Structure 1
Amino acid sequence: MIHQISGAGRRVLTFPAVHPCESISPSTLLYSLIELAQSICSFKSRFFSANKRNAHGTIRQVQNVLIVLEEFRVELSDVPDSLVLVFSELHLAFQKIHFLLEDCTREGARLWMLMKSDRVANQFRILIRAISTGLDVLPLEAVGLSSEAKELVELAMRQARKARFEVDPDDKRVINDVTRILGRFVDGDDPDRNEIQQFLDYLGVTKWSECNKEIKFLDTEIGMEYLNVEKRGELSILSSLMGLLTYCRCVIFDHVDTEATHHVNNWCTKMLTGVNPDDFMCPISLEIMKDPVTLSSGHTYDRASILKWFRAGNSTCPKTGERLPNKDLVSNLALKRIIQDWSAENGVCIGEESSHKNRDITRTVLAGSMAAEGAVKLLANFLACKLLDGTSEEKKKAAYEIRLLTKATIFNRSCLVEVGSIPSLLNLLSSKDSSTQENAIAALLNLSKHHKSKSIIVENGGLELIIDVLKKGLKVEARNHAAATLFYIASIEEYRKLIGVNPEAIPALVEMVRNGSNRGKKNALVAIFGLLMHPGNHSKVLAAGIVPLLVDLLSSSHIEELVTDSLAVLATLAEKLEGTLAIIRHGALNVIVRILDSSSSRVGKEYSVSLLLALCINGGAYVVALLVKSPSLMGSLYSVLSEGTSRASKKASALIGVLHEFSESSSGSMVPDFPQERPVHVW
């Protein structure tokens, strides 16, 4: 139906209304108009945090028009064109009113709509004038309305002309309060808590989760505004308001409430008890599934990931490798509901990691405004104090808030490093409370990306504490975060050596590859890859038994990222003779060739070529002779040569040269002896 408009994906205060098509029948248009008017009237019971008078005045006007429209229900034959034109214009105006009312009652956008009160009031004024204009040309005599209806039309027109639609005085007062609070942030002064509480109460923001929704909305608006390179006119005020609400979330609300889940069915509640979030990960992307779909094989993937798999030319189930009889995708609505409820209960934004991967981080280096900068600096000091002197619950909440802040922007990380939060967070790693420990290590993971933080972590004995969490963390998530934190610390050569010297670090990472979750395996692999940048760690990684685990992963895993990371580690190990020998002994050659033939990942193909080239160089004629016998290898190498990156093409060319040289100098009828281990001199 025409009236069923949706604001999904629409920015607030935009009105993508469309005229009804010219061929529509008058009766269909009328019924659509009536239903749209009824939908507008239903907003009367909704909560308006700002522009209450204007909104309710507009709804009353539409109610009056609705009474008139319902008189047309009986007969609509041989109507004049002027009436159809009026209906069409009213329909357009009603659509825009519906959009505007959606915005005024939208959860998460309350502060922004308050600050845009002048624009909102003006929009109400314009739309009521549009209704008045339509009614003014309504052919009353031609359509045979009752005298009561005619009087109602005239009343509606008079009211529309008289309506002032100005900003509500209470809205003006609260806007002034907000402006005054932002001014205190600019001056570096803490605002009055009572004043903050009053404006939050006015908006109906009474819980941590409601405040967090406001922050997420503003963050999205900032992202959209940042894309508008030519204007970016709203960036400063959006950043200021986000700084204010972030301050409110941390300082005003003592309790991190879970989002409302009272509507969850009992069966769903039971399923959420003790649930393993690893079950919500897409086997391809290793991210929480946003739109889970099930294949004919019975396995479930995120829709975007499996479609990418199919577009790469694959027609098999990524997890089992079996050929699919069809590529039909069935939405797994039950799992989607469980994921949504679990995410709400645990404060996780679905798709959060993916969205942060795709955002331009350069915009997060600065606060965005003087007020936002002042708010974050004050907040950083507040949280640092809570970490030092707060109760156990206050420390847990402070760690969680730091976790969220450090994930959001580079500027936040800088402020929290400067106020000395790292030593206090390290102290929380020994906590017996699993949530406190997890929040602390997650916060340290985010902070470890800051250039100053790595030395602070190491100088305060952080390596031993992080490795202890890696081995014995109270939650799987904590152990996963610990592995990722080691990866960032290992970006410094000196610290790669220190981590390698610790006798427990590398074995713990290898153990995570063996028995960890998929996310844990990935984090452990990238950490090991980073440690291998120091040559002295090669023998330690080999001694920990990594090679058979990686060969098994290559053989059994259909998770693209795990396969690629395994190839990367093996390719680095193969650069030394002892690594090459270990890889050959565990029968990896055929597996690597198969991956090169079948992988849809350009990075995976490049690591496969790098690995095979290193094996040929260190393994000599024995390896080359085996590879020459592979019927598909040359085709795959020529494919990389023509379609890969310049670096991949060079390596493919070099490997092709090695294989051609061997073929020309040898009949290839005999496989040379397996290469023997010999002393390797590290220069």
Structure 2
Amino acid sequence: METMTAMEEKLHTARTLVGRLRGAAAAHDWSATADAVAEIRLATKSDPEIRAPLADAGAVPFLAAQLTSSSAATVDAAAALLNISISAREQLMSTPGLLDALTAALRSDSGAAHHAAATVHSLLCAEPHRAVVGARRPLLAALVALVSAAPTTRAVKDALKALFGVALHPPNRAVLVALGVVRPLFALVMVDGRAGVVEDATAVVAQVAGCAESLDAFRWINGIRILLDLLEPDAANTPRTRENAAAALLNLVVAGGDDAVAEVVAVGGAEDAVREFAEEATVSPRGKAKAEALLRALEEGGAAARRRDNNHRLADFLNGLVLSDPYISSPASASTHG
């Protein structure tokens, strides 16, 4: 008898694990089901090479089914799906009902929410998935609700990473604004002191700002003033947070046109704050480029307003800025969520 190859052994083990789960689920033996799910979770954590074979063996539908139940296996199932998603994103996305199951987990109080949010983020690492996920408004609403609830640092950070991935697809940004994402994002920026949360929140703000619908939402919560304050060197902000704030303002004026530029210019000291940030020696080259592009837009906006033909001259300038400045399409915050 020939000895099995290492991959054949992995697939055999995967089929055995899935077979136990299938049998326990068919027998409605919830204790055995929970044990089988826990075993799969442990396998996906300790052996990355078994993740894809588990997906090939049919583990995903059975694990997803646990997310919509109230069983004790929900957390283990969510964690196992997260691990499997790293190696088998396409198998997860092609599983009927998976996104609905993740939505249910995001809304649950079982402790599975942060695993579900991290799984969504993992799926969004594949660019073609962003439009598909963005079309699921209940899922997006669940992510927004998770950020609003701010239950644990891990859950909030995972939800922010998922929202960032969603917002990388431009058509999704207006949907997020309509779902009310702007207010909880700025709430995190203003009052949350947890490590990394403010950086991640401003990264999402920078992406969401890149749609025309964001201007009204920012206006209602004085968002432009908040972003300008974040540029200040003595505001106890990290370099990444300050750079994200500059990116958000730049994306806002590019997407919002002359109205957005006028809103920023109307804030006292706006141009001085941006200029000082751009001239700081410690600011990264990317941060400087964003600030300089923003400053040019503000200066052009002010000059166009004085010429009273800003509808055309400023629009032409902003269109040229998008075409000529690669940093606008490459937000600094992208490096926050590798």
Q: Does 2:89 correspond to 1:448?
A: no
Q: Does 2:36 correspond to 1:402?
A: no
Cα pair 1:560 1:601 within 8 Å, conserved: no
Cα pair 1:396 1:436 within 8 Å, conserved: yes
Q: Which residue of 2 aligns with 1:551?
A: 186
Cα pair 1:484 1:523 within 8 Å, conserved: yes
Q: Which residue of 1 aligns with 2:165?
A: 530
CA distance in 2, matches of 1:568, 1:550: 10
CA distance in 2, matches of 1:384, 1:567: 41
Matches within 5 A, 1:203-222: none
Q: Does 2:136 correspond to 1:497?
A: no
Q: Please provide the CA RMSD for this pair.
A: 2.9
The one-character-per-residue Cα deviations of 1:609-632 (angstroms, maximum 9, x if unpaired) are: 111222334202231242635765
Cα pair 2:230 2:237 within 8 Å, conserved: no
Cα pair 1:417 1:453 within 8 Å, conserved: no
288, 297, 307: which one aligns with 1:649:
288
CA distance in 2, matches of 1:545, 1:595: 22
CA distance in 1, matches of 2:188, 2:290: 24
Q: 1:627 to 1:577 in 2, by over 3 A?
A: farther
Cα pair 2:274 2:294 within 8 Å, conserved: no
Q: Which amino acid aligns with 1:414?
A: A
Q: Which residue of 2 aligns with 1:620?
A: 261
The one-character-per-residue Cα deviations of 1:399-444 (angstroms, maximum 9, x if unpaired) are: 22222332344312122222221122122223322x3011011111
The one-character-per-residue Cα deviations of 1:33-61 (angstroms, maximum 9, x if unpaired) are: xxxxxxxxxxxxxxxxxxxxxxxxxxxxx
Q: Which amino acid aligns with 1:187?
A: T
CA distance in 2, matches of 1:383, 1:430: 21
412, 418, 423: which one aligns with 2:61:
423
Q: 1:662 to 1:545 in 2, by over 3 A?
A: closer
Matches within 5 A, 1:555-570: 555-570=190-205
Q: 1:474 to 1:379 in 2, by over 3 A?
A: farther
The one-character-per-residue Cα deviations of 1:448-504 (angstroms, maximum 9, x if unpaired) are: 122x43344443321112112222x241x2122112222222344554333333342
CA distance in 2, matches of 1:657, 1:491: 33
CA distance in 2, matches of 1:635, 1:536: 33
CA distance in 2, matches of 1:498, 1:661: 38
Q: Which residue of 1 aligns with 2:318?
A: none
CA distance in 2, matches of 1:555, 1:505: 26
CA distance in 2, matches of 1:407, 1:397: 15
Q: Which residue of 2 aligns with 1:634?
A: 275
CA distance in 1, matches of 2:139, 2:194: 25
Q: 1:527 to 1:468 in 2, by over 3 A?
A: same
Q: Which amino acid aligns with 1:647?
A: R
CA distance in 2, matches of 1:412, 1:397: 18
Q: Which residue of 1 aligns with 2:96?
A: 460
Report the number of matched residues.
296
Shift of 1:571: 1.4
CA distance in 1, matches of 2:135, 2:192: 31
Q: 1:653 to 1:444 in 2, by over 3 A?
A: same
Cα pair 1:388 1:424 within 8 Å, conserved: yes
Q: Does 2:109 correspond to 1:482?
A: no
Q: 1:379 to 1:593 in 2, by over 3 A?
A: same
Query: Which is higher, the Rg of structure 1 or of structure 2?
Result: 1
Shift of 1:586: 1.4
Cα pair 2:275 2:292 within 8 Å, conserved: no
Q: Does 2:14 correspond to 1:380?
A: yes
- 3-state SS of 2:210 partner: coil
Q: 1:560 to 1:587 in 2, by over 3 A?
A: farther
- 3-state SS of 1:559 partner: coil
589, 606, 610: which one aligns with 2:224:
589
Q: Which amino acid aligns with 1:469?
A: A
Q: 1:570 to 1:386 in 2, by over 3 A?
A: same
TM-score, normalising length: structure 2: 0.77
Q: Which has the higher contact order (CA 8 A, sep 6+)?
A: 2
CA distance in 1, matches of 2:273, 2:117: 38
Q: Which residue of 2 aligns with 1:411?
A: 49
Q: Which residue of 1 aligns with 2:106?
A: 470
The one-character-per-residue Cα deviations of 1:159-184 (angstroms, maximum 9, x if unpaired) are: xxxxxxxxxxxxxxxxxxxxxxxxx9
CA distance in 1, matches of 2:101, 2:277: 46
Q: 1:658 to 1:534 in 2, by over 3 A?
A: closer
Q: Which amino acid aligns with 1:601?
A: T
Cα pair 2:271 2:295 within 8 Å, conserved: no
CA distance in 1, matches of 2:231, 2:38: 43
- 3-state SS of 1:504 partner: helix
Q: Which amino acid aligns with 2:3?
A: D
CA distance in 1, matches of 2:215, 2:45: 39
In structure 2, the gaps of 5 or more residues are 311-338
The one-character-per-residue Cα deviations of 1:200-249 (angstroms, maximum 9, x if unpaired) are: xxxxxxxxxxxxxxxxxxxxxxxxxxxxxxxxxxxxxxxxxxxxxxxxxx
The one-character-per-residue Cα deviations of 1:240-283 (angstroms, maximum 9, x if unpaired) are: xxxxxxxxxxxxxxxxxxxxxxxxxxxxxxxxxxxxxxxxxxxx
Shift of 1:395: 2.5
Q: Which amino acid aligns with 2:253?
A: C
Q: Which residue of 2 aligns with 1:46?
A: none
- 3-state SS of 2:196 partner: helix
Cα pair 1:187 1:374 within 8 Å, conserved: no
CA distance in 1, matches of 2:122, 2:84: 10
TM-score, normalising length: structure 1: 0.40
Q: Which residue of 2 aligns with 1:57?
A: none
Q: Does 2:328 correspond to 1:512?
A: no
Q: 1:578 to 1:432 in 2, by over 3 A?
A: closer
Query: Whose helix fraction is larger, Structure 1's or Structure 2's?
Result: 2
Cα pair 1:638 1:652 within 8 Å, conserved: no
Percent identity, aligned pairs only?
27
Q: 1:492 to 1:611 in 2, by over 3 A?
A: same
CA distance in 1, matches of 2:44, 2:56: 13
